[in-house]
Amino acid sequence: MTARPLEPVRREEALVLWRAYTATLTKPLIEDEPPIEQFGDSAAMADELAELVMAGIKRASADLPAALAADQTPLPRIGGHWIVCDGTGAPRFVVRSVELRLGPLSSVDDSFAWDEGEGDRTRASWLAEHESFFRRVQRAQGIEWSGDCEVLFERFRVVWPPELADAQ
């Protein structure tokens, strides 16, 4: 059985969410429009991971810089924002990057695996699941898998909507 693919993000709805957030700020942001993205590579995965964020469990994510470059997605920056959409492309919340680190896949530690909130939250589970995911992503982009691939480890906090936002 094939996983239901991600539906396109609903850009205009996401920008409504973004404008609602920025209207509450006293200082202007550098960004006029942040990236609008989905977690994972299927609608089910995007929904599951967004739910983990909304439940307060997931506060980290990992990606392959090479895959981001292939998709022409800019690398995040500390203090930068992104709008997260579910598998249907509906915007759910705005996050702000608070920590970024580049390193090999094997450099993930227990703390990061826990903060990512997936599976049983152990490093071993994280490595198995992310290697499988990264292999799929690279295969889809025609990139040969390498176990020592560079990974972007990102911690974030939810900043909007208010009922989901993390305490400052």
Give residue 120's pLDDT band: very low, low, confident or very high (50, 70, 90): very high
Point out the least confidently predicted range of 23-32, 39-48, 101-110, 113-122: 23-32
Question: Is 1 a domain residue?
Answer: no
> Average pLDDT of the chain?
94
Question: Is 121 a domain residue?
Answer: yes
Give the residue numbers spanning the domain of 108: 11-28+38-160
Question: Is 123 a domain residue?
Answer: yes
Give residue 141's pLDDT band: very low, low, confident or very high (50, 70, 90): confident
Question: Is 15 a domain residue?
Answer: yes
Question: Is 85 a domain residue?
Answer: yes
Model confidence, pTM: 0.95
Distant-in-sequence contacts of 49-55, Cβ < 8 A, 24+ apart: 49/118, 50/84, 50/85, 50/86, 50/92, 50/93, 52/117, 52/118, 53/84, 53/92, 53/93, 53/95, 53/117, 53/158, 53/164, 54/92, 54/93, 54/164
Q: How many structural domains compose the chain?
A: 1
What is the pLDDT, as a whole number, of residue 72? Answer: 86
Question: Is 4 a domain residue?
Answer: no
Question: Is 2 a domain residue?
Answer: no
Cis amide leading into 161 (omega within 30): yes
Q: What percent of the chain has pLDDT over 70?
A: 99
Give residue 143's pLDDT band: very low, low, confident or very high (50, 70, 90): confident
Question: Is 3 a domain residue?
Answer: no
Average of per-residue pLDDT across 23-48: 93
What is the pLDDT, as a whole number, of residue 142? Answer: 86
Alpha helix locations (H) across 4-162?
11-22, 43-54, 65-70, 110-116, 123-140
pLDDT at 22 over 80: yes
- Whole-number Å distance between alpha carbons of 109 and 126: 9
What is the pLDDT, as a whole number, of residue 78? Answer: 96
Average of per-residue pLDDT across 85-107: 97
What is the pLDDT, as a whole number, of residue 71? Answer: 83
The partner residues of 35 in beta bridges, in order of sequence, read: none
- Whole-number Å distance between alpha carbons of 66 and 149: 9
CATH number of the domain encompassing residue 24? 3.10.400.10
What is the pLDDT, as a whole number, of residue 2? Answer: 64
